[in-house]
Amino acid sequence: MTGIGFSLVAEDGAARRGLLETAHGAVETPCFMPVGTAATVKGMTPDQVAATGAQMVLANTYHLMLRPGNARVARLGGLHRFMGWPGPILTDSGGFQVMSLDELATVTDHGVVFRSHIDGSRHELTPERAVEVQHNLDSNIAMVLDECTRYPVSRDRAADAMRRSMLWARRCKAAFRSRDGYGLFGIVQGGVEPDLRAESAAELQAIGFDGYAVGGLAVGEGADQMFRVLDVTVPLLPADRPRYLMGVGKPSDLVNAVARGIDMFDCVLPTRSGRTGQAFTRGGAVNIRNARYAEDPRPLDDSLDCPASCDYSRAYLHHLVRSGEILGAVLLTWHNLAYYQRLMSDMRTAIAEGRFASFAAAFAEAQAAGDIEPV
């Protein structure tokens, strides 16, 4: 197998069920990748993450190149061995983090010069360097370096960033060292402009990648605008390659994006929410800090095969979070990851059985009817 393998198992409307094959195992899609930015899914052991049903995790080039350093990770046997995760790993290229953590970063066609958020040291990230770092980390799926703009952005600025990203994509492809079970994904940019998204999608396909990501969304444009961009972008992407929506999102976003043909997701929301007292359930989001849960004996969700979801009362979780106990953050994170993986599994089943539309409708109804606070 040269690169990574991808095959469609079932389709139901635009929704797809597939199988992604890498050197470190296969991943059923649609899939959600828990975010392990610094080679750890915060508060969770790799075994716990795997037990939720997660098949692939995401780590970040920017953070790992700064600390502990990609050369050190390579000397220690690569990211899989370093973090104790034997399954597939995808690494973000670091471009978004550079531009979000250093407002004074200097961007040119050559690359981006930035200051470390850790110690202020100066660094340069070029397309070639981004690919080299990800190779040293031994990630199964590497991402091209791209320039991501925040919403709102002028059309001229969006076009400039998109075309620079396409220049960088070509250089990333040239620098990438092909290996069996490893792949490189291109990233579609272009703000909320349909013609710029179309231009970007066409350019990336002319270069040729193992998969195609939609980037530059969930940056302030709102869900309606995001879905409009997906409506015009996803149909332009190859049907025989995986499609990845970066940095999204809420459970309802996942369902609506799968309905539009997206296969892969990542987001910090389930883990970050777990650390701030929010849990996701079939009836919506629970803010466990609220006084209404102080004497609530119910578990978060006893339909989930996860100890955090069914073995502890909401009252106990309320106590832990209000007391600032570390266990509260751990249990809510564990539950949220299990909930997200169950949602993805349920969507895969619905697609295979040809009932995704009814599943999506029932999901929306349950979220709207729940007695839980909306996100």
Residue 5 near residue 183 (C-beta atoms within 8 A): no
What DSSP assignment string belongs to 247-288? TB--HHHHHHHHTTT--EEE-SHHHHHHHTTEEEETTEEEET
47 as an active site residue: the answer is no
Q: Kindly name the residue from 12, 138, 253, 266 that is annotated as catalytic.
A: 266
**CA–CA dist 104, 17 (Å, integer):** 42
- Tell me, what DSSP letter sits at residue 209? -
Using alpha carbons, list the distances in angstroms from residue 351 to 28, 54, 101, 148, 209.
12, 19, 39, 32, 26
Q: Kindly name the residue from 12, 92, 102, 146 that is annotated as catalytic.
A: 92
266 as an active site residue: the answer is yes
**Diameter over CA atoms, the chain:** 60
**CA–CA dist 263, 143 (Å, integer):** 16
Backbone angles phi, psi at 147, to 5 degrees: -105, 115
Which residues are catalytically annotated?
92, 266
